[in-house]
């Protein structure tokens, strides 16, 4: 039986070289940076990791490197969602075979399937992978919000789904899952600006991209909240809030890399079709990073 996931799971950014290739050495360094800062788990190949711009083989390689470098120090939960059930199954099996603690699966996000088809998608992934599934609810991309009724019906079909990453930005929905699905699925808030309210309401943890440039602060927020020291957690959360708000408004994965650069962490350029922030936007973000006390010395 695997240890239940909890705490701060970093949605890893994928470092690229100047010519657009995978920066394998940079990824290994980044994994160590996160673990050394106290991060409780790693999520490669998610939205923050620009998975949609990676080939199938690259997604497998990023997963393999992350698992190898983590070396069992923290659980690794690779993103394996796809527009194709067959590809999602292939990626999920690959992750499980290489030691993943669970897989994070977003539903197909182009030609939107029906509600029943989405349930079957998650059921097949769970059956094939043999490890717990984290359902990644990202309605701004998929066009379908997965509410409590969806999970109640899904759990009648499969026991593989044990976690939800709720990236709706809707605190009421996250709380509804935490309160009414407790003991059946564990809900991780995936929207940066409401992470602390979610933790204060009894959330088990969070999957978010901010740890890429503020790992120690994110761990402190979680640990202080878990200890009931909400005032101290709130001080740190408020300090980071304007940066997180910027990320949510200006293109998340690109902004994470921009914030990391301002904090002195080189994660490379975004991969096409994405581009670095325009100079005026980067300047604004760098200013917010400095105001948050994260700027490189």
83-96 CB burial, b ≥16 within 10 A, e <16: eebeebbbbbbbbb
Name residue 7's beta-bridge partners. 205
Q: 48 labelled as ligand-binding?
A: yes
Q: 142 labelled as ligand-binding?
A: no
DSSP annotation string for 143-172: S----HHHHHHHTTT-S-EEEEEE-S--HH
> Using an 8 Å Cβ cutoff, are 243 and 289 in contact?
yes
- Active-site residues, by number, are 136, 165
> Using an 8 Å Cβ cutoff, are 205 and 217 in contact?
no
SS3 of residue 73 by DSSP: coil
Q: Give backbone dihedrals phi and psi of 207, rounded to 5 degrees, phi first.
A: -120, 115
State the binding site for pyruvate: 48, 207
State the binding site: 48, 207
């Amino acid at each position: 039986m695997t240890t239940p996931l909890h705490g701060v799971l970093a949605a890893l950014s994928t470092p690229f070289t100047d010519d657009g290739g995978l920066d394998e050495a940079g990824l290994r360094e980044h994994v160590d940076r996160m673990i050394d800062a106290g991060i409780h788990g790693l999520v490669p190949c998610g939205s923050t990791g620009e998975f949609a711009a990676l080939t199938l083989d690259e997604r497998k390689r990023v997963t393999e490197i992350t698992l190898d470098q983590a070396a069992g120090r923290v659980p690794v939960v690779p993103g394996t969602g796809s527009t194709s059930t067959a590809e999602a199954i292939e990626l999920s099996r690959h992750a499980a075979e290489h030691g993943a603690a669970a897989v994070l699966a977003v539903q197909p996000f182009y030609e939107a399937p029906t509600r029943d088809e989405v349930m079957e998608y998650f059921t097949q992934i769970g059956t094939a992978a043999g490890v717990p599934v984290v359902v990644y609810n990202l309605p701004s991309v998929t066009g379908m919000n997965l509410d409590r009724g969806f999970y109640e019906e899904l759990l009648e079909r499969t026991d593989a789904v044990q976690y939800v990453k709720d990236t709706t930005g809707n605190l009421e929905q996250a709380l509804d899952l935490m309160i009414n699905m407790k003991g059946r699925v564990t809900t991780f808030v995936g929207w940066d600006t409401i992470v602390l309210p979610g933790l204060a309401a009894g959330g088990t943890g969070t999957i978010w991209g901010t740890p890429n440039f503020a790992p120690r602060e994110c761990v402190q927020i979680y640990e202080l909240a878990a200890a009931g020291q909400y005032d101290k957690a709130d001080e740190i959360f408020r300090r980071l809030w304007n940066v997180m708000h910027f990320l949510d408004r200006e293109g998340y994965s690109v902004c994470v890399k921009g914030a990391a650069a301002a904090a002195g962490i080189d994660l490379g350029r975004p991969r096409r079709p994405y581009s670095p922030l325009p100079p005026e936007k980067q300047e604004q973000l760098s200013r917010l990073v400095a105001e948050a006390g994260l700027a490189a010395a």
